[in-house]
Amino acid sequence: MMDNVYSNIDFIKEEKKTAEIRNSSTRKTSASRISQRVPSSTLRLLCGLSALCVVLLILNITVTFTKSSPNCSNVMKTEVISDSDSMSTPCPEDWSLSSGKCYYFSNVPVSWEEAKHACEKKKSNLIVINSKTEQDYAVKISLGQYTWIGLTEIDNEWKWVDGTPYNSKQTYWKEGQPNNWSGHLLPGGEDCAQIQFGGQWNDEHCSNPWRYICEKKSEV
């Protein structure tokens, strides 16, 4: 009888130890699993924070660029304006440039005196031909039309409107001109010069209406 009691007691003790060992093993396993899960959770948290930082950085760059864009636009506009100022044309609209001078050819026929005043209003004068190059250019832009030039006869002397001395050796008169022809039956003589078709000069009555060429120095 007593032997059975002791045997039972020993059995109970063994069972208790076995249970304690199992519980201890279970706790270690749980702790191990928890310790394994912690680094994984931390990694996910770090990845999330990194992604958030990237998003915030992109937003900051976008806002900064948006704020600076108007300033960049203003700078570009300023540069364009500066470039356009530095590239200003040497001659006004409807004028042409040749050898540092600006020329205006009028298609409106007027008297020589009216042509002179029209050029003066444009801050220029009737063309004064000083060289073969200028003569050729005047013929070119006159397009074969009879055209007044800035040469007139005063007291039997030919004079340029700007005071340039008249050089009889550098003229382009048509053969037999000037002849002061009186067959036009108008009062006075032929005291004004024109370029005729073909490019040669002719003296003409100043009241007759012809086209004209103005000239002035270029702005550049």
User: Residue 208 belongs to a domain with what CATH number?
Assistant: 3.10.100.10
Q: Give mean pLDDT, residues 131-141.
A: 97
Decide if pLDDT at 72 tops 60: no
Q: Give the DSSP per-residue string, the chain.
A: -HHHHHHHHHHHHHHHHHHHHHHHHHHHHHHHHHHHHHHHHHHHHHHHHHHHHHHHHHHHHHHHHHHHHHHHHHHHHHHHHHHHHHT--SS-TT-EEETTEEEEEEEEEE-HHHHHHHHHHTT-EE----SHHHHHHHHHHHTT--EEEEEEEETTEEEETT-PPP-TTS--BPTT------TT--SS---EEEEPTTS-EEEE-TTS-EEEEEEEE---
Pair 45, 131 in one domain: no
Task: State how far the Cα of 192 lies from the Cα of 152, in Å rounded to an integer.
Answer: 4
Pairing mode, strands 192-195 and 201-204: antiparallel
Decide if pLDDT at 182 tops 50: yes
Last residue of a domain, one of 66, 87, 108: 87
Q: Name which residue leads in pLDDT, 34 or 211.
A: 211
Pair 109, 205 in one domain: yes
Last residue of a domain, one of 39, 55, 87: 87
Pair 147, 117 in one domain: yes
Pair 145, 171 in one domain: yes
Decide if pLDDT at 126 tops 70: yes
Per the omega criterion (within 30 degrees of 0), is the bond before 178 cis?
Answer: yes
Pair 105, 23 in one domain: no
In this prediction, residue 96 carries a pLDDT of: 97
Q: Give mean pLDDT, residues 85-98.
A: 83
Q: What is the pLDDT of residues 16-53, one digit of tens each?
A: 666 565 655 555 555 455 444 445 667 677 767 777 76
Decide if pLDDT at 166 tops 50: yes
In this prediction, residue 86 carries a pLDDT of: 41
In this prediction, residue 34 carries a pLDDT of: 44
Give the rounded percent of residues in the chain with a pLDDT score beyond 90.
53
Report the range of poorest mean pLDDT among 34-48, 57-71, 92-106. Answer: 57-71
Tokens of 9: 């007691």
Pair 160, 197 in one domain: yes
Pair 207, 128 in one domain: yes
pTM of the complete model: 0.61
Decide if pLDDT at 67 tops 90: no
Domain count, the chain: 2
Domain span holding position 23:
1-87
